[in-house]
Amino acid sequence: MAKPVLVAGATGGVGKQIVQKLLARGTPVRVLARDFAAARAVFSDTVEYIAGEVREPETLSPAVSGVEAVICAVGAGRGDDQTNTPEKVDYEGVRNLIEAARAANVPHFVLVSSLGVTQPNHPLNQMFDNVLAWKLRGEDALRTSGLPYTIIRPGGLVDDPGGRLALRLNQGDDPAFTGSISREDVAALCVQALTQPAARSITFEVIAVDGLSPTDWAALFAALKPDGR
């Protein structure tokens, strides 16, 4: 029986799309959920549910046990809850999940981050409690973990249907590289990364542009340079 893929942040905009695309491929999915009722309202009986919360590291060992991969699409909220801040979620929560995955020898960890994380003066840092700076620290925790990984930095997220535009990938977090991308296309990249050897040990930015949607995913990833080279 195939091992499941654990999805953290599954009830978010990108997370829902990730789960749907995994299921469409016949991949079993394990959803990390702190609210089973809310998660079940989204996915019904199509996935395995496991209790856990990235801000509570003691809950994560069972979640990562026996999985083929982890896809992390968590993100802090925008309210006044001081336990749901970018520091607590995008850095500490991500780090907790990475450490649990490392202890369990998970074969692959895919992290959804954001374009602009290396730019301290980015407007999003000013608006949302240094969210990009904390996301960068989450990325760094993954890059230094020893886990095989893929870090995806999408541009502005939109709810347009995926598969209708070309995807432009970049590396180096150039401030001039800006644009948007559908959540569905980000999810497609996450899922494709699981089966592409060239998607290991890479960090890249991605936006959607006019043109044909990708069909040769291997070539798309092969054009990127592994981190540190």
pLDDT digits 0-9 by tens, 183-218: 999 999 999 999 999 999 999 999 999 999 999 999
Q: Can you give the pLDDT at residue 131?
A: 96
Cβ count near 161 (within 10 Å): 11
pLDDT > 90 in the chain, percent: 92
SS3 107: coil
pLDDT exceeds cutoff 80 at 90: yes
pLDDT band at 141 (very low <50, low <70, confident <90, very high): very high
- Angstrom distance (rounded) from CA 150 to CA 226: 10
pTM greater than 0.95:
yes
The third-level CATH classification (topology) of the domain covering 5-222 is Rossmann fold (3.40.50)
- Residue 83, pLDDT above cutoff 90: no
Residue 154 corresponds to which tokens in the numbers above?
A: 């999408």
Can you give the residue ranges of every domain in the chain? Answer: 5-222
> What value does the mean pLDDT take over residues 145-172?
97
pLDDT score for 228: 82
So what's the pLDDT on residue 1?
A: 72
pLDDT in tens, 30-55: 999 988 899 999 999 999 999 999 99
Residue 80: per-residue pLDDT: 58
Contact partners, residue 134, CB within 8 Å, separation at least 6: 76, 86, 87, 90, 91
